[in-house]
Amino acid sequence: MSEYAYDEKTVTGFIVSAIGWGVVGILVGLWISVQLWAPSWNIPPYFTYGRLRPVHTNALAFGLGLGAIFGLFYYIVMRLARRPLVLPKLARFHLYLFNVAIALAALSLFAGMNQSLEYAELEWPLDVVVVGMWVVFAINIFATIIKRREEQMYVSLWYILATVIAVAVLYIVNNLAVPAGLTKSYSLFAGANSANVQWWYGHNAVGFVFTTPILAMFYYFLPKSTGLPIYSHRLSIVAFWALVFAYLWTGAHHLVYTPLPDWIQTVAIAFSLFLIAPSWGSVVNGYYTVGGSWDKMRTHYLTKFFILGITFYGLQTVQGPTQAVRVVSSLIHFTDWVPGHVHMGTMGWVTMVVCASVYYAIPKIYGTTIYSEKIANTHFWLVLVGQLVFSVTMWITGIQQGAMWKAVSPEGTLSYSFMEGLAKNYPYWQMRSAAGVVFTAGMLFFIYNVAMTMRQGTLAPAKA
Amino acid sequence: MSGAIYRKPIFFSIVATVVILAGTLATMFIPMFTEGMHPRLAALKPYTAIQLAGKDVYQQEGCNNCHTQTVRPLRTEVMRYGEYSKAGEFIYDRPFLWGSKRTGPDLARIGGKYPDAWHLKHFADPRAFFAQSNMPAYGWLAARKLDPAAMRSRMRVNDFPCTEPELAALAGKSELDALVAYMQAIGAAVKGTATASAALPPPETKNPLAAAATAVADGRALYDAHCASCHPNGGKDGIGPGLEDEAADDPDLYTIIAKGYEGEMPGFAGQLDRKQIWSIVSYVRSLKPAAAPQGGKAEEKGVRK
């Protein structure tokens, strides 16, 4: 093997940045969870629920999520290509650009600059910056993969390439707008058509930010950390192609019973149900990889992060398609059930796998071992309990809300006013805030553990 | 499983792009060019300058995080909010503002449901009307003035007709004024507040609770919950008139409570059943200072105790 250095500083820069933005996003999340049951926690103009909620989603999806994806993708690509990045200085520039973009994003959202497109709230000047950042990233990823020193591209690289391509298409199309000044624009698309474009984007942002990149990490770090080979190469091929094909057809399941043409809704519902198959392809692959060595759940601390993570992915990808079905949608759509669903994915699947990947990568980069497995286990149980309480309370109150909205008295009048339904949420919203505190405590253990690991090691260029 | 494609990243990426674009073309791109995606109701009008300014405020404050603007074609939804949403209502919304979460109620039929004065008071203090509401107060928007020059370019970008006097009239108006104007414009192309009231059978010709001993007390509790924020007890300075001298006869009063007045008062038929509405009628009658023309002595006692 040849002698060369990986550019680890950029990787750790991204991981540390991601953690920093994660703290911001989680604290804002706690704050808005309290605002729902204590309106006096709204502080106009910058800190009302309406402005803070996009800060929460953007800081976590793009600050924590994308930051971790960028860092760990560079880490994975260098190793699977068996070479350093082709353009290490560009990657360093990418790191600075990323932090500037997220900071400006947060400030602009506090200021109320908002396109009103979920997960694409940023106004057009920042969209330009984001696209530039993505191009910079794509150049390095493609160049490094093309100039790789390993003939075969491993599964993780397929997911990485698909992520880069899909996000570029999604982000550019959905953000097309006509500017009216520097801080305001009007979408190129109107009415029902804009709804269709937005949810084609919105659902696939979930697909290509919260699914494919996390699968790339899962397929790389699970075998690496356990020493167990992936169970079936064939299954990972089938699951990959079926997933990236089917995802793009499903966006309109967010628009069931809206004025969007029915056929688009029906096609989306059908493909959503189909999507269970490729999703579970990866779930089964993960289970069988560890299958036969289940004692690792006890003896190897990272295995349980990955296995619980893929389990929540499996639950998420059954619950999601179920919600797409019209009769279920009519009950739970617009209720708190949906945030319960989303947070199982983000807190149960994404964060679990990202944290486990960081636990594996950081000691490797710093030439040391994890600071404390005990702290990692505490972290694991706290985020698990926090996430479960969060999701389950939201599911309960969501069903209650939906049922109260639908209830009709024998006389044929509505049984409950809207306010009666809202008031019933309060105890559940309070419980959700408490669950959020537990989850946050778990993440603090994680951050402490990572920081101490970095302190005890030295950032030496790794040898291949 | 011949692995050639997994050794050729460029070829792999081209195939992946094609696979990703299949669903994109079929469900997003091609429908864009079909008529079903761009219908327009005949009654739909472009936003005026102040309405667009209000819509901009709605987006700036992220109102769509808690309020939807699409009534689903479900029985109870139509009863609660009104006529279900039509694709042809939204062609001037760039982008759509249907929302995805109903922490607060749907707003697709809010236009004309309440008078402006109600909105101003409600934005300033949502809990003045709904004690358990969790909506943030937005009275502070009154201190933020509109910028006619910015609105000129925004109207132009949207291609909405707009005159200079109309823009000049924005000077001195606040973001709160604009938001109220937008509220009143939402759903204007479709008639029909909550159809629970439209489908209401005609009331009895006489109050069936006229002789019921508890009707006035029941009515008072309901009045306090649903009516008093606009028609304060005994007061004359509410958003609506005082009701001590209400001239309408019992069936008319029943109908007013059930159906409301377009633009002035919402109907309550979706929230209150027949007996509850008659109780409120009984209570309102009991407010009359002189001997009650209907209802009789039982209710007089009921209100005094």
The DSSP code sequence of A360-396 is HHHHHHTTS--S-HHHHHHHHHHHHHHHHHHHHHHHH
Is the pLDDT assigned to residue B303 strictly greater than 50?
no
In chain A, what residues touch B22 (CB-CB under 8 Å)?
245, 248-249
The overall average pLDDT reported for chain A is 96
A179–B134 CB contact, under 8 Å: no
Q: Which strand (E) or helix (H) includes residue A185?
A: strand A185-187
Helix H or strand E segment including A178: strand A177-179
- List pLDDT tens digits, range A336-365: 999 999 999 999 999 999 999 999 999 999
Do the beta carbons of residue B257 and residue B281 sit within 8 Å?
yes
Query: If you search the block for the tokens 């079929």, which residue do you land on?
Result: B26
Q: Is A165 on the interface with B (CB under 8 A)?
A: yes
Count Cα atoms within 13 angstroms, Cβ side, for B73: 11
C-alpha to C-alpha distance for A434 and A420, rounded to whole angstroms:
23
Report whether A265 contacts A252 (CB < 8 A): yes
CA–CA distance, B274 with B296 (Å, rounded to integer): 21
Q: Do the chains contact at B70 and A259, CB–CB below 8 Å?
A: yes
| Interchain pair B19, A197: CB under 8 A | no
For the A8-456 domain, the top CATH level (class) is mainly alpha
| pLDDT number for residue B182 | 98
Q: What is the pTM of this model?
A: 0.93
Whole-number Å distance between alpha carbons of A94 and A91: 5
3-state DSSP call for residue B266? strand
Report yes or no: A2 at the B interface, CB cutoff 8 Å.
no
CA dihedral for A40, A41, A47, A51, sign (positive or negative): negative
Average pLDDT over residues A188-198: 97
User: Do B24 and B55 belong together in one domain?
Assistant: no
User: Quick check: A191 contacting B, CB < 8 Å?
Assistant: yes
B35 CB burial (10 A radius; 0-12, 13-18, 19+): exposed
Task: Output the pLDDT for position B272.
Answer: 84
Inform me whether the C-beta atom of residue A417 falls under 8 Å from chain B C-beta atoms: yes
The CATH number linked to B243 is 1.10.760.10
Average pLDDT over all residues of chain B: 89
Provide the 3-class DSSP secondary structure of residue B107: coil
Percent of chain B exceeding pLDDT 70 equals: 90
Amino acid at B268: F
Are both B227 and B149 inside the same structural domain? no
The three-class DSSP label of residue B205 is: coil
Can you give the pLDDT at residue B287?
86
Q: Determine how β-strand B260-261 pairs with β-strand A185-187.
A: unpaired
Residue whose C-alpha is closest to residue B138's, from B175, B165, B104: B175
Total domains, chain B: 3
pLDDT digits (tens, 9 = 90+) for A7-52: 899 999 999 999 999 999 999 999 999 999 999 999 999 999 999 9
Rounded to the nearest 10 degrees, the angle between the axes of helix A212-226 and helix A276-290 is: 10
Same-domain status, B201 and B162:
no
Question: Could you tell me if residue B82 is inside a domain?
Answer: yes
pLDDT for the residue B305: 32
Confidence of residue B191 (pLDDT cuts 50, 70, 90): confident
pLDDT tens-digit profile of A124-170? Answer: 999 999 999 999 999 999 999 999 999 999 999 999 999 999 999 99
Do residues B186 and B85 share a domain? yes
A46 inside 8 A of chain B by CB:
no
Does B271 sit within 8 Å of A414, measured CB to CB? yes
Cβ atoms A449, A376 nearer than 8 A: yes
Q: Are A191 and B96 in contact (CB under 8 A)?
A: yes
What distance in Å separates the CA atoms of residue A224 and residue A349, rounded to the nearest whole number? 19
Report ipTM for this prediction.
Answer: 0.96
Mean pLDDT on A251-277: 97
3-state secondary structure of B186: coil
Q: How far is B46 from chain A, CA to nearest CA, in Å?
A: 13
φ and ψ at A151, to 5 degrees?
Answer: -65, -50
Residue A4 clears pLDDT 70, i.e. is over it: no
pLDDT score for B71: 97
Of B259 and A444, more confident:
A444
Which H helix or E strand runs over A61? Answer: none
- d(CA B286, CA B305) in angstroms, rounded, equals 12
- In chain B, what residues touch A334 (CB-CB under 8 Å)? 68, 99-102
Q: What mean pLDDT do residues B216-221 have?
A: 92
Whether pLDDT at B18 is above 90 = yes
Domain identity same for B179 and B200: no
CA angle B285, B290, B291 (to 5 degrees): 70
pLDDT band at residue B233 under the 50/70/90 scheme: confident
For residues A316 and A345, is the Cβ–Cβ distance under 8 A?
yes
- Please, which residues have CB within 8 angstroms of residue A284's CB and are 6 or more apart in sequence? A231, A235
Q: Domain limits of chain A?
A: 8-456
Q: Mean per-residue pLDDT for A211-216?
A: 98
Inform me whether the pLDDT recorded for A228 exceeds 90.
yes
Inspect the interface and report whether the beta carbons of B7 and A153 lie closer than 8 Å.
Answer: yes
| Residues B32, B35, B40, B41, CA torsion sign | negative
Q: What is the pLDDT of residue B304?
A: 36
* Domain residue limits at B20: 4-33
Do B28 and B54 belong together in one domain? no
Q: What is the DSSP letter of B261?
A: E
- Enter the DSSP assignment of A414: B
B68 to A334: CB separation less than 8 angstroms, yes or no:
yes
Tell if the CB–CB gap between B7 and A142 is shorter than 8 Å: no
Q: How many C-alpha atoms does A464 have within 13 Å on its Cβ side?
A: 19
Please give the pLDDT value at position B291: 53
> Are both B252 and B300 inside the same structural domain?
yes
Q: What is the Cα–Cα distance from A121 to B60, expressed in whole angstroms?
A: 10
pLDDT at B301 over 90: no
Calculate what percentage of chain A has a pLDDT beyond 90: 95
Residue B9 belongs to a domain? yes
pLDDT over threshold 60, residue A464: no
| Per-residue pLDDT at A13 | 97
pLDDT band at B158 (very low <50, low <70, confident <90, very high): very high
Collapse the DSSP code of A51 into the 3-class scheme (helix H, G, I; strand E, B; otherwise coil) and give the result: helix
Tell me, yes or no, whether B200 and B176 share the same domain.
no
Distance CA A298, CA B242 (A): 73
Residue A111 is predicted with a pLDDT of 97
B90 and B144, same domain (yes or no): yes
pLDDT, one tens digit per residue, over A63-106 is: 999 999 999 999 999 999 999 999 999 999 999 999 999 999 99
Chain A residues whose beta carbon lies within 8 Å of the beta carbon of residue B99 = 334
The rounded distance, in Å, linking the Cα atoms of B250 and B63 is: 40
Tell whether B146 and B255 lie within a shared domain.
Answer: no
C-alpha span between A406 and A402 (Å, rounded): 6
Q: Give A20's contacts (C-beta < 8 A, 6+ positions apart).
A: A63
Do B161 and B92 lie in a common domain?
A: yes
B20-30 as b/e: b if 16+ CB within 10 A: bbebbeebbee
Q: Are A356 and A312 in contact (CB under 8 A)?
A: no
B254 and B274, same domain (yes or no)? yes
Residues in chain A: 464
The span from the CA of A152 to the CA of A237, in Å, is 13
Confidence band of B213 (pLDDT split at 50, 70, 90): confident
Number of residues that this document lists for chain B: 305
B44: contact with A, CB 8 A cutoff: no
Q: What is the pLDDT of residue A414?
A: 87
Residue B78 forms part of a structural domain: yes
Q: What is the pLDDT of residues B81-139, one digit of tens each?
A: 989 999 999 999 999 999 999 999 999 999 989 999 999 999 999 999 899 999 999 99
Kind and range of the H or E run holding A179:
strand A177-179
Cβ <8 Å between A259 and B80: no
C-alpha to C-alpha distance for A369 and B71, rounded to whole angstroms: 56
Predicted pLDDT at B232: 84
Taking the C-alpha atoms of residue A158 and residue A215, their distance in angstroms, rounded to an integer, is 10
Q: Looking at the domain assignment, is residue B41 inside a domain?
A: no
Confidence class for position A1, pLDDT limits 50, 70, 90: very low
